[in-house]
Chain A
Amino acid sequence: MFYREAGDFKTSYREDSQTFPIKFDRLRYYVVLAIAFGIVPLFINDYWANAVAVPFLIYAIAAIGLNILVGYAGQVSLGTGGFMAVGAYAVYKLMTAFPEVSIFIHVILAGGITAAVGVLFGLPSLRIKGFYLAVATLAAQFFLVWLFNKVPWFYNYSASGQINAPERTMFGVFVTGAQTSAMAKYMFCLVMLTIVALIARNLTRGTVGRKWMAIRDMDIAAEIIGVNPLTTKLSAFAVSSFFIGIAGALFFAVYLGAAEVGEAFGIQKSFLILFMVIIGGLGSIFGSFAGAAFLVLLPVFLKNVLVGTLGWPTDLAAHIELMIVGGLIVTFLIAEPHGLAQLWRVAKEKLRLWPFPH
């Protein structure tokens, strides 16, 4: 294999601390990017976009956001669904109030609004940690869903209580609404994910990321070497919620098109994304991708195998599928508690020496 660092000398600190220090890795990364941007859009159809690609991209954004909070800064949160709802309702209000502004700007603004809400609900983290903090963020989840249900202003007094994404275009192409093509949905989410992943990587590789990890690993020592716990924890909540807000906005505007808050952004969503982060690997950007892929693809894969190949009845397959996914999660967590990212790291370590183990 070409997965070697031998002969790949680093002559500057910049080269030494790059994301993919091994040449083969770097190459693979560019190839993946090229396929994602250049080849997939040509072949994508409605089924693949709606069942696999778009949910994967959006969940990956949310998982990166939650991973920053839970994996890097060590603050447990069960409010992800609620924060996604903030992003969705923010983008809805913005889209209906300022129809002439670009949807891209609306999505970013929705992220910003969610960041503000996230900081507000992050305030208890200054006093409480661990499970107690999880319970406090659970309050955010229930409160936010209740709020969007009870206050008609948020859904523009529509009779059904639902929000519907109006049609918006970018560069003359529909990206929201019924006429949107599979490719447009995919590309819009892909661009967002790429931006989010780059920002997340930049934040976590530098001094901000080290502050977060310091607070996670030992908060007292962190404070004594000069980390301000207040700003550090709240910045983690802000950045995390910003990404989750973007994910929520995309989930509603691009993917669902119409949403009812309790159904789309309930507590199940919080758990789903938390599972993605745990299964993928805490404190790893790659892990967020892996976790999102695992939990999005696995049900689709099982369904295809059970119904398509084995010919089982759909309802039976749906139930069995839930049981298999649940079982796999448990097995997986026992076998590799550090997630898919750790498996990947171990595999890479092995590959480095393969086929000569000594």
Chain B
Amino acid sequence: MNDMSDGYVTADGRQIGGVIMEMKNITLRFGGVVAIKDISFDIREGEIRAIIGPNGAGKSSMLNVISGFYIPTEGEVWFHGYKRGPMRPYQVARLGIARTFQNIALFDGMSVLDNIMTGRLTHMKSGLLAQAGWWWTGAAKEEDEHREKVEKIIDFLEIQNIRKTPVGRLPYGLKKRVELARALAAEPKLLLLDEPMAGMNVEEKEDMSRFILDVNDEFGTTIVLIEHDMGVVMDLSDRVVVMDYGKKIGDGTPDEVRNNQDVIDAYLGVAHD
């Protein structure tokens, strides 16, 4: 797995494209605490890339760097061949990067439909005045067009029956699904999933895994995911980055990572002399 300048073919036969995002020597410090230390890796078009590591390894911080919520202390983020300058998170969203959160961050006061519609807002053009006019200024028409796209996602994730339910009333597993729907509604080029299976039972995990694979397959969305469930990670992902104490200790296919001595040591512990 050294030279992959024109992509590679995965174990299940999917063609993976060129690099769309590259992290170059990322370091992130909070005062004296070093959360991420000199990490480099790339993300290729169409692949499912996992970031794993023990608790406190810096996985979520890494995801926050990718999503623009944290600005790295040192290092560069390259996206689609351009170096990304310091940006506000909403500007990153407009580049086509969407994410879900470890502890669900939905808008509780709004219905499922409205929550997913917020995912479309980077694509919606009408401003205040157009909105005020509604029927006469095309805002209603725009709303309908986007509603149609959102309905496709609702069908895709099988949440038709809860369309009009306020999100606050939903059970945990469904909330996670609605959050995925909201991220998908943005039609992202890069989708970041922060522990999509955390706190789920086996059945819900299976559902979620199926949705992740389907999203990748059907929309060709590049996915970066953080997950603790090793079985899920090894089954879903094409390539895995392993972090420990803010450093990268492994990078490669699930099989390569599984047999990496540093990774085994980090997870199982190693006797100190």
Whether both chains belong to one complex is answered with: yes
| A interface with B by C-beta (< 8 Å) | 12-14, 17, 199, 202-203, 205-211, 213-214, 216-218, 220-229, 235, 238-239, 283
B110 part of interface (Cβ distance < 8 Å): yes
Given contacts A210-B121, A226-B93, A228-B90, contact A202 B133 (CB under 8 A): yes
Given contacts A203-B128, A207-B121, contact A217 B109 (CB under 8 A): yes
Q: Which residue from A206, A227, A238, A283 sits with its C-beta under 8 Å from B131?
A: A206
**Are A217 and B107 interface neighbours, CB within 8 A?**
yes
Contacts of B134 in A (CB 8 A): 202, 205-206
**Are B148 and A13 interface neighbours, CB within 8 A?**
yes
Which B residues between 131 and 163 are near A, CB-CB below 8 angstroms?
131-134, 139-140, 143-144, 147-148, 151
**Are B147 and A221 interface neighbours, CB within 8 A?**
no
Q: Which residue from A14, A218, A220, A226 sits with its C-beta under 8 Å from B94?
A: A226
**Are B131 and A202 interface neighbours, CB within 8 A?**
yes
B117 part of interface (Cβ distance < 8 Å): yes
| B interface with A by C-beta (< 8 Å) | 67, 69, 88-90, 92-94, 98-99, 101, 105-110, 114, 117-122, 124, 126-128, 131-134, 139-140, 143-144, 147-148, 151, 182-183, 186
CA gap between A227 and B98 in the complex, in Å: 12
**Are A220 and B143 interface neighbours, CB within 8 A?**
no
CA gap between A222 and B122 in the complex, in Å: 11
Expressed in whole angstroms, the minimum distance between the Cβ of B10 and any Cβ of chain A is: 29
**Are B114 and A213 interface neighbours, CB within 8 A?**
yes
A-B contact pairs, 23 of them (CB 8 A): A13-B151, A14-B140, A202-B133, A202-B139, A205-B134, A207-B120, A207-B126, A208-B128, A210-B117, A210-B121, A211-B121, A213-B107, A214-B107, A214-B118, A216-B109, A217-B107, A218-B106, A218-B108, A223-B89, A225-B183, A225-B186, A227-B90, A227-B121
Given contacts A13-B144, A207-B124, contact A222 B107 (CB under 8 A): yes
Q: Which 9 A-B pairs have the closest CB atoms?
A: A226-B93, A221-B105, A217-B107, A202-B134, A226-B122, A13-B147, A207-B124, A199-B132, A223-B89
Contacts of B124 in A (CB 8 A): 207
Given contacts A202-B134, A217-B108, contact A224 B140 (CB under 8 A): no
Expressed in whole angstroms, the minimum distance between the Cβ of A236 and any Cβ of chain B is: 10
**Are B110 and A224 interface neighbours, CB within 8 A?**
no
CA gap between A13 and B147 in the complex, in Å: 7
Expressed in whole angstroms, the minimum distance between the Cβ of B7 and any Cβ of chain A is: 29
CA gap between A86 and B99 in the complex, in Å: 43
CA gap between A210 and B118 in the complex, in Å: 6
CA gap between A229 and B90 in the complex, in Å: 8
Contacts of B139 in A (CB 8 A): 202, 206
Contacts of A205 in B (CB 8 A): 134, 143
**Are B131 and A221 interface neighbours, CB within 8 A?**
no
Expressed in whole angstroms, the minimum distance between the Cβ of B241 and any Cβ of chain A is: 22
Given contacts A206-B131, A217-B108, A221-B107, contact A226 B143 (CB under 8 A): no
Contacts of A224 in B (CB 8 A): 67, 69, 89-90, 92-93, 99, 105
**Are A223 and B114 interface neighbours, CB within 8 A?**
no
Closest to A72 in B: B109
Contacts of B107 in A (CB 8 A): 213-214, 216-218, 221-222
Contacts of B109 in A (CB 8 A): 213, 216-217, 283
**Are A235 and B128 interface neighbours, CB within 8 A?**
yes
Contacts of A226 in B (CB 8 A): 90, 93-94, 121-122, 186
CA gap between A288 and B105 in the complex, in Å: 29
Contacts of A213 in B (CB 8 A): 107, 109-110, 114
Contacts of B110 in A (CB 8 A): 210, 213-214, 217
Closest to B121 in A: A207
Expressed in whole angstroms, the minimum distance between the Cβ of B146 and any Cβ of chain A is: 8
Contacts of B69 in A (CB 8 A): 220, 224
Q: Which residue from A221, A228, A239, A283 sits with its C-beta under 8 Å from B106?
A: A221
Beyond known contacts A13-B147, A13-B148, A217-B110: 5 more, CB 8 A cutoff: A13-B151, A210-B117, A217-B108, A221-B105, A283-B109
